[in-house]
Amino acid sequence: MAAKVESCYVCPRNSSILFDRCPCKGRLTHIKKESKVTPRGSYSPPFFENHMRILVTGATGLLGNTIVRELAEQSYTPIALVRQTPDPEVFEGIKTESGSVETVHAEFTPAEQHDDGSLEKSSAGYLEQVIESCDAVIHCAAMIHLGWQKMDESMRVNRDGTRRIANACLKYQKKLLFIGTVNSIALGSPNTEADENTPLGHAGGQIPCAYVASKKAALAEVERAVASGLNATVLHPGFMLGPWDWKPSSGRMLLELGKGWKAVAPRGGCSVCDSRDVAKGVVAAIDYRCEPGRQFILAGHNWTYRQLWTEMAKRMGSRPPVQTLGPGVEYLAGAVGDLWTKISGRETDVNSAQVAMSGQFHWYDSGRAIRELNYNIRDADETLDTAAQWIRDRFVLSPTADNR
């Protein structure tokens, strides 16, 4: 498919040159001629000729919100895709050329069929108009359920939603930056850090729960679109902590440890990284030229959960764990959780999938991103201090918690 012809603001003599062949590389300056005069459909984007427009899905989440802030800091124009009108403080303090962050309301997932066979209203056409008006798309939005249930819903959001966005980016020749997860690639081990070339079956492979299976399927959709001509870069974050965790997401771990003493920690480990560092790595990938489909791990400090929980408990005013779970106790906890799911019909955080994942070592090597994207891994103390302060300032801890 031929690339869309765009005009280059800093090279007016090259007003018909292809985007990827402009000598100036069009840094922050590419604009579509039609955006000036005849925006099509019901979506009319504001016009700022010196800034690339970057659509961010999942813009109210931890990483998405941090990316929006980083884009504005680097003089891009972030466009936040939201499902509902967010609280004003979610985008507070972000300065753009228009004065504030532009938000667009649209569903990126396919229309859902109801019990009576009817379909909810789809916003596919509107979403395509928004993507056509932008220069690149950063797809952060995802459903995260670490369990065996909600597989169909996870596939609809993660796989089918990604397919819709990838197809629109391919149709309008927009670069896609797909936010994957280290849970969809190879696993590390107590003695090995996995990288982008580690075989998928290493260390027994990932647990095929709803989140893992659907994110793998989403990655496959991106790879399919790349084979058809899509320019995409895939970025896999590790376990992120940081400010602007509004829901919270990974900050729930801090919140739970702040509610009371957790004597026993999971026996596995994760790669702790700062969401601000990950956001910088993602934004760096916008202009980085590499073969379509290239994947990057954006991870951090490879710690055991006991080490992580000890540092978290210290900052949340709780006692640290005194031991780790053994395999037998893990199995029993998972079995009891699954039994409760069958009885109640509701799957909690304690289920055999999540328990098994907590016993694995999600340890990764970010060397490729460090070399090619100038990815930085800041000191873990700074990340933990900032994340803990954020949680303490915004969420109420149980007054009955035993934090001695």
- Would you give per-residue pLDDT tens digits along the chain (404 residues)? 433 334 433 333 333 333 344 444 433 333 333 322 223 345 555 544 457 999 999 999 999 999 999 999 999 999 999 988 888 899 988 987 777 899 998 888 876 654 554 444 456 688 999 999 999 999 999 999 999 999 999 999 999 999 999 999 999 999 999 999 999 999 999 999 999 999 999 999 999 999 999 999 999 999 999 999 999 999 999 999 999 999 999 999 999 999 989 999 999 999 999 999 999 999 999 999 999 999 999 999 999 999 999 999 999 999 999 999 888 888 888 888 888 999 999 998 889 999 999 999 999 999 999 999 999 999 999 999 999 999 999 986 655 444 44
Answer yes or no: is 84 within a domain: yes
User: Does residue 9 belong to any structural domain of this protein?
Assistant: no
pLDDT of residue 96: 79
Report pTM.
0.84
- Amino acid present at 286: I
**Cis amide leading into 248 (omega within 30):** yes
Residue 15 DSSP label: T
Compute φ and ψ for 160, nearest 5 degrees.
Answer: -70, -35
45 and 58 in contact (C-beta within 8 Å)? no
Cβ neighbours around 24 below 10 Å, total: 13
What total of structural domains would you count in the chain?
Answer: 1
Extended strands (E) in 5-49:
7-8, 30-31
**Three-class SS state of 259:** helix
CATH number at residue 340: 3.40.50.720
pLDDT on residue 217: 98
* pLDDT on residue 85: 87
Calculate the alpha carbon distances from 5 to 2, 19, 167, 319 in Å.
9, 7, 19, 61
Of 29, 8, 74, 31, nearest in space to 281 by CA: 74
**15 within some domain:** no
Residue 219, in any domain of the structure: yes
What is the pLDDT at residue 12? Answer: 34
The CA–CA distances, whole Å, from 375 to 187, 302, 317 equal 21, 16, 32
Cα end-to-end distance, the chain, whole Å: 64
5 touches 16 (CB < 8 A): yes
User: Is there a domain that residue 5 lies in?
Assistant: no
Cβ neighbors of 402 (< 8 A, separation 6 or more) are 260, 261
Examine residue 10 and state whether it is found in any structural domain, yes or no. no
Contact of 378 with 241, CB cutoff 8 Å: no
Cβ–Cβ < 8 Å for 294, 368: no
Please provide residue 369's backbone torsions phi and psi, each rounded to the nearest 5 degrees.
-65, -35
Q: Report if residue 22 sits inside a domain.
A: no
Residue type, 368: R
Count other Cβ atoms within 10 Å, centred on residue 111: 14
Location of structure tokens 């916003």: 123
Rounded to whole angstroms, the Cα distance separating 194 from 185 reads 9
Kindly give the residue spans of alpha helices, DSSP state H, lying in 148-190: 151-154, 161-171
Give a yes or no: residue 400 inside a domain.
no
Q: Say how far apart CA 362 and CA 303 lie, in whole Å.
A: 9
Q: Quote the domain boundaries for residue 336.
A: 32-111+122-394
- Cβ atoms of residues 271 and 215 within 8 Å: no
Please give the Cα distance from 302 to 272 (Å, whole number). 6
Cβ neighbors of 195 (< 8 A, separation 6 or more) are 186, 297, 364, 365, 367, 368
Check: CB of residue 266 under 8 Å from CB of residue 146.
Answer: no
pLDDT computed for residue 294 by the predictor: 98
Q: Which of 82, 129, 135, 66 is nearest to 273 (CA)?
A: 66
